Chain A
């Protein structure tokens, strides 16, 4: 055990100064930089009236359409030019499309040796029956790692923009929450009671069977998120907050992203050449097969489901 520092000793340590700097409690300019004392800004009523009058006169002169030729010319020019620009853009894009190779031709540039390798050896190398999942979560798992982080950053941005930080703001938002909606709507609740369990189970199925059939982490997560939103709409926040709060979301997405990063971020160090996997691929078609793909699917699904639900909650009342 270290001995306890007195307050004076503590104030001399580096960590105290660093923490104060971090909190913004210390103004680094005060006492360090020479500053000229400033007079408080003030204006008497006459100057304000003069300024407003000047501004009104200026506005009148500028927007006096009958006498100001320049404004009229500019407006006409603006309309014509915007139309011309739209036509130019449309023609350019259509011309570019007409230069593309025909869809589905055998000698298209997209049908190169990479695609052939994926289609021919994909099942053998990744163990996933669904080639698309094998591609995005094995050959290109590094890209998908970036994608799930992009989703997480998008949620952070929404949190920064829409979160109600001040306490009175939050109370006002929460009391206004369901002004325009019927509370305890019996039709909605009955439908939700019947529909929500199949929706959630379907989402879980889509995630777990991502390497066997169509689907995967993103679509399954979106389905689960939609189911959660329906449940929230029918029964309100009191019911959902029993199992899903901000803390749950934080822990879930942290665990999922950390798991994914641990599993796949070695590409940072090894480059494009992936390490030989030690996990057995299993029999193709079984649910416990194809190495890490199942785990990665679950991670992506958790992140996406939490993201969808959090978006909705943030849009609706700015905080859990």
Chain B
């Protein structure tokens, strides 16, 4: 069990660092979502299922959706073929 918690905490730290250092904003959001998922498992292991449900619904669900919608609004999600064209131009 300690090993399992250790693995989870390691994954949590990796996710936190990855989310802040990732160059692609969409990748950042997805890493942040997995951070929330791991965090909700850790909440269960720390015996607070109330928080686990909230973290899973708000952190992994709604916040991610809001982030993705915002990215779409500011047109930061480039379609694959459009991105390729830009690279070819360079």
- Give the interface of A toward B (CB within 8 A): 130, 132, 180, 206, 213-216, 218-220, 222-223, 225-226, 229, 308, 311-312, 315-316
Since A225-B62, A226-B62 are in contact, a sample of 8 more A-B pairs with Cβ atoms closer than 8 Å, ordered by chain A residue number, is A215-B50, A216-B50, A218-B54, A222-B62, A226-B57, A229-B61, A229-B65, A312-B69
- The reply to whether A316 and B69 form a contact with Cβ atoms under 8 Å apart is yes
One digit per residue, 1 when the CB lies within 8 angstroms of any chain A CB and 0 when it does not, for chain B 70-89 equals 10110001010000000000
One digit per residue, 1 when the CB lies within 8 angstroms of any chain A CB and 0 when it does not, for chain B 40-68 equals 00000000011011100110011001100
Determine the main DSSP class of B at the interface with A. Answer: helix
On chain B, the number of residues with a Cβ less than 8 Å from chain A's Cβ atoms is 17
Q: Which 5 A-B pairs have the closest CB atoms?
A: A214-B49, A222-B57, A219-B53, A226-B61, A219-B54
- The reply to whether A214 and B50 form a contact with Cβ atoms under 8 Å apart is yes
Residue among A223, A308, A312 making CB contact with B53, cutoff 8 Å? A223
Chain B residues near A311: list those with CB within 8 A. 62, 66
- The reply to whether B72 and A180 form a contact with Cβ atoms under 8 Å apart is yes
Chain A residues near B49: list those with CB within 8 A. 213-215
Expressed in whole angstroms, the Cα–Cα distance for A130 and B53 within the complex equals: 15
Chain B residues near A218: list those with CB within 8 A. 54
Closest A residue to B57 by beta carbon equals A222
Chain A residues near B65: list those with CB within 8 A. 226, 229, 312
- The reply to whether B57 and A312 form a contact with Cβ atoms under 8 Å apart is no
Chain A residues near B58: list those with CB within 8 A. 222
Expressed in whole angstroms, the Cα–Cα distance for A180 and B72 within the complex equals: 8
Expressed in whole angstroms, the Cα–Cα distance for A219 and B54 within the complex equals: 5
**22 sampled A-B residue pairs with Cβ under 8 A:** A130-B50, A132-B50, A180-B72, A180-B77, A180-B79, A215-B50, A219-B57, A222-B54, A222-B62, A225-B62, A226-B62, A226-B65, A229-B62, A229-B65, A312-B62, A312-B69, A315-B66, A315-B69, A315-B70, A315-B73, A316-B69, A316-B73
Min CB distance B54 to A, Å, is 4
Min CB distance A237 to B, Å, is 14
Expressed in whole angstroms, the Cα–Cα distance for A132 and B66 within the complex equals: 29
Expressed in whole angstroms, the Cα–Cα distance for A311 and B58 within the complex equals: 12
Chain B residues near A220: list those with CB within 8 A. 53
- The reply to whether A215 and B62 form a contact with Cβ atoms under 8 Å apart is no
Expressed in whole angstroms, the Cα–Cα distance for A30 and B73 within the complex equals: 43
Chain A residues near B52: list those with CB within 8 A. 214
Chain B residues near A229: list those with CB within 8 A. 61-62, 65
- The reply to whether A223 and B57 form a contact with Cβ atoms under 8 Å apart is yes
Expressed in whole angstroms, the Cα–Cα distance for A120 and B20 within the complex equals: 44
